[in-house]
Amino acid sequence: MDLYYGLLVAFSGDIISFTMLRYLDKFRKQAFFIPGEDINLRPVRRSELPAIRRWLKDKELVRLAFGVEAEGKVLDKIAHDYYHDVVSGLKFVLGIEDKKGKLAGFIRYTLREDGSVARIGIMIGEKQNWNKGMGTQGMRLLLKYLFDIIGIEKIELDTADFNQRAQRCFEKVGFKRTGEFSDVDFLQGSFSHRIYMHLTRDDYRAENAEPDNTQAK
């Protein structure tokens, strides 16, 4: 069951038939596709969910993404809980595909109740793809989607203080630091130091405004 099916089934029980789900799936695939230069954003396919699960069980990826040193059962629990949120639709997930159509990573977002603020996270799962600009491009496409299509007013995120690559990636697309916070990881009993960042729609639009050529002499 993928994210969209999860959502539908969660809200509709048995009412929606399998045929209908397939129809909606077809519609969804046509409706949601955000093309970029080297990557595209699109829904995650059911057949790709094992890749996401594999990434969530990778010690290094989990350390970078969540700021915790986890292994064994703790790592399994993180993977299980996160994966469950993805499949059940508690986290919205957009796949990042390379130009060959292969899933390279994903972006997830959750919306605050009134729909004005989004909280986001990103993971390029295949490490050979790091530092090639995929994360930055993925973030740019996501910002366009959330600000211009969904109509979000502010996007927030946080990252581990040692995750310099992620911070650089977020700063490049306009995020500004808003604070720092030391958090206790109850699973592990360890501390992690988080950097909080945000980007408002006004700042995004000011930064990405098209030049006004109508006043040209």
Closest approach of Cβ 160 to ligand COA, in Å? 7
> Which residues inside 65-84 make contact with ligand COA, applying CB under 6 A?
65
CB 134 within 8 A of CB 124: yes
Count, residues in the chain: 217
Closest approach of Cβ 123 to ligand COA, in Å? 5
How far apart (Å, rounded) are the C-alpha atoms in residues 32 and 35? 10
Nearer to ligand COA, 16 or 187 (CB): 187
Identify the three-state secondary structure at position 210. Answer: coil
Closest approach of Cβ 188 to ligand COA, in Å? 18
Nearer to ligand COA, 134 or 143 (CB): 134
Closest approach of Cβ 96 to ligand COA, in Å? 9
**Does residue 192 belong to the site contacting ligand COA (CB under 6 A)?**
no
What's phi and psi for 13, nearest 5 deg? Answer: 60, -130
For residues 14-29, one letter each, b for 16 or more C-beta atoms within 10 angstroms of the residue's C-beta and e for the rest, the string is eeeeeeebeeebeeee
The enclosing H or E element of 120 equals: strand 117-124
Nearer to ligand COA, 25 or 156 (CB): 156
Nearer to ligand COA, 129 or 188 (CB): 129
Say if strands 92-98 and 39-42 run parallel, antiparallel, or are unpaired.
Answer: antiparallel
Q: Which residues lie near ligand COA (CB under 6 A)?
A: 61, 64-65, 105, 121-124, 130-136, 159, 163-166, 168-169
